[in-house]
Chain A
Amino acid sequence: MGYRRRFVVAGEGGQGIQAVGEILAAAAYRSGLESLYIPNFGVEQRGGASIAFVQVSEHPIGAPKFEHADIMAVLSRRAFERTRMHQGPDTVVIYDSSDLRTPVIDDKTVGIQGWETIAPEGFAASVGRERESVPESESRPRSRSILLPVPASDVAKDELTPRVMNMIVLGAIVSLVEKITEESVMEALEAKLGAKFAEDESLRELNRNAIKRGKELVQQVLSQAGVSG
């Protein structure tokens, strides 16, 4: 079948999941690959999780729907529950090891309530930062599936700004895909956010640094685990 990679990126609405999917797909396209991106579909759409499906290939891509992903990035427990059917025996799962407990929307919550509106940055903080580990032991039975903990939220908050957490995740994903060049990622970033960068030059560096940090975080995990790049 030739070279082909399938991705699932999943998290809470407001975390910038779809931007990761869009830039990932566009970067693959700019790298000379066929590429297909589709936002949430199927039952995954319900319940507030935001999911992006991306496929890249040397050949034209068939169905937008697939069973098992090569790489998954899951940024909340709920998103993981919604997408675990795509975790196959060989799937690499990146997860936010600094993950926050899914915020509870109740009648005390002020502001917009509804589909894909929860957990914007700042909001999560307002409801407290309770840690929860994501794909713990119960997800392990999938024999060879590799889990990569990436503390994206913590790094974003402590080193950059919470808003760029998703770009750290993007950096982590593309660090595992040789055929997507760094140059094309930056081009796709520019195409997506160029207008915003024009308003505030500092944002460009912030996003670029986040992508780079994502790569580094993956390298760290892999080297700790004794796996070479």
Chain B
Amino acid sequence: MGVIQGTQRQFMTGNEVVAWAALAAGAQAMFGYPITPQNEIMHYWTRLAPEHGLRFLQTEDELSAGFATIGAALAGSLVFCATAGPGNVLMQEPISMAEMMRVPAVWVIQQRGGPSTATVIYSQQETRLTCFGGNGEGLRIVYSTSSHQDLFDYVIKALWAAWEFRFPAFVLGDGYQAKMREPVTLYDPESAGVNLPSVEPILKPEGVPSVDREPVHLRNTFNIEEELMDVLMGHIRDYLDMSSRVVESEEHPCEDPEVLVVAHGVVWRSAREAVSVLRDQGIKAGGFRPITLRPFPEESLRAAAEKVKLTVVVESAYGQLESMVRDRLYGLKVPVRSLLKPGVGVTAEEIVDSVIQFSKEV
């Protein structure tokens, strides 16, 4: 029996939703270090802990939180971690180890302004860091959420995907989503037919090493260039193979669209609203939202962009999504314009104005 009976409609903050989703998915442990705006995830997790037998440790820093998360995952625990901003920067060290050693752990990132300490409020400036941080290839699964329902759904999905594919998985939220309250439908994933993670000890499986089985010796250090590349190419092949099972996107449809507005995360809400307003005004607009930023839904984006005369990328960062979009649209003739507001939320009205302006220009 799950911790959530049936289906419940609740009015909650995003941080609460994350804690409930992790609990509903069967997560057993969380490690964290205080940083705004994700703190309430730890607060709710620790409040829920005694009743549900959950583990939590507030570590001495984000490095420790990240590495303890890895230790717990290796020991076979469904575990997650949450951070933001400068904490996310520090967290890249353990995350790179998780990437190399295929550790199935989940990080929830509630983006705040950057670089440096910047603001504790909101941003989409951790998009590139979360996708490609560390000294590697970005072998990660990154879900970008735009609503509390997304937070609930994708925390559960990220926990599943991490263990299914053995790559570190991320739920990329932001300070707005963390702090705002809106309705959300909580459900027991099992009775809702949602995939649940299948967890097993990686480091300490059944049996006595050298008696029942060979010892497990895990490492992230390699001797020579070719040995490293062999290991990495194995990981990369696995990553590419799983991509078709993981990529997700959403479109706000419009017949014969002439303008495609591309946004991710909470900005998608403004983009969708702007698309509706534009259509009311007689402008044939459509919207595209990558839900997974890693792997990126390249095919569906190209298919949507091929049909239009103008693509407009909107984000609360200075070109982090735009560069991903431009990369994916390479070779298409459609012009790309962007509304870039690093560290600041974007209103639907601003998007409407920009699209009208860009439409006149091209």
Contact = CB atoms under 8 A, between A and B. Distances in A.
A and B together in one complex: yes
Contact of B182 (A45, A61, A65): A61
Given A36-B182, A64-B180, 12 more contacts: A22-B181, A29-B11, A35-B181, A36-B181, A38-B180, A41-B176, A42-B121, A62-B273, A63-B269, A63-B273, A65-B176, A66-B347
Contact of A63 (B11, B121, B347): B347
A95 to B, nearest CB: 24
Please tell me the size bucket of the interface on B.
20 to 34
A7 interface: no
A67 B349 contact: yes
A39 B15 CA distance: 13
B121 A45 contact: yes
Contacts of B347: 63, 65-67
Given A26-B11, A29-B11, A41-B122, A63 B182 contact: no
B183 A63 contact: no
A62 B179 contact: no
Given A25-B11, A67-B347, A62 B182 contact: no
A34 B182 CA distance: 8
23 contacts: A22-B181, A25-B11, A26-B11, A29-B183, A34-B182, A34-B183, A35-B182, A35-B183, A36-B182, A37-B182, A38-B179, A41-B179, A41-B345, A42-B122, A45-B121, A60-B147, A62-B269, A63-B273, A64-B180, A65-B176, A65-B347, A66-B349, A67-B347
Interface of B: 11, 119, 121-122, 147, 175-176, 179-183, 266-267, 269-270, 272-273, 276, 344-349
Contacts of B345: 41-42, 63-65
A202 B71 CA distance: 52
A12 B205 CA distance: 57
Contact of B346 (A22, A25, A41, A63): A63
Interface string A1-29: 10000000000000000000010011001
A58 to B, nearest CB: 13
A26 B179 CA distance: 15
A63 B270 contact: yes
Nearest to A68: B349
A38 B183 contact: no
A38 B346 contact: no
A26 B270 CA distance: 22
Closest 5 CB pairs of A and B: A62-B273, A63-B270, A38-B180, A65-B345, A62-B269
Contacts of B344: 42
Contacts of A60: 147
Given A63-B348, A67-B347, A67-B349, A41 B121 contact: yes
A198 to B, nearest CB: 19
Contacts of A65: 176, 270, 345-347
Nearest to B174: A64
A45 B176 CA distance: 13
B181 A63 contact: no
A63 B181 CA distance: 13
Contacts of A39: 179
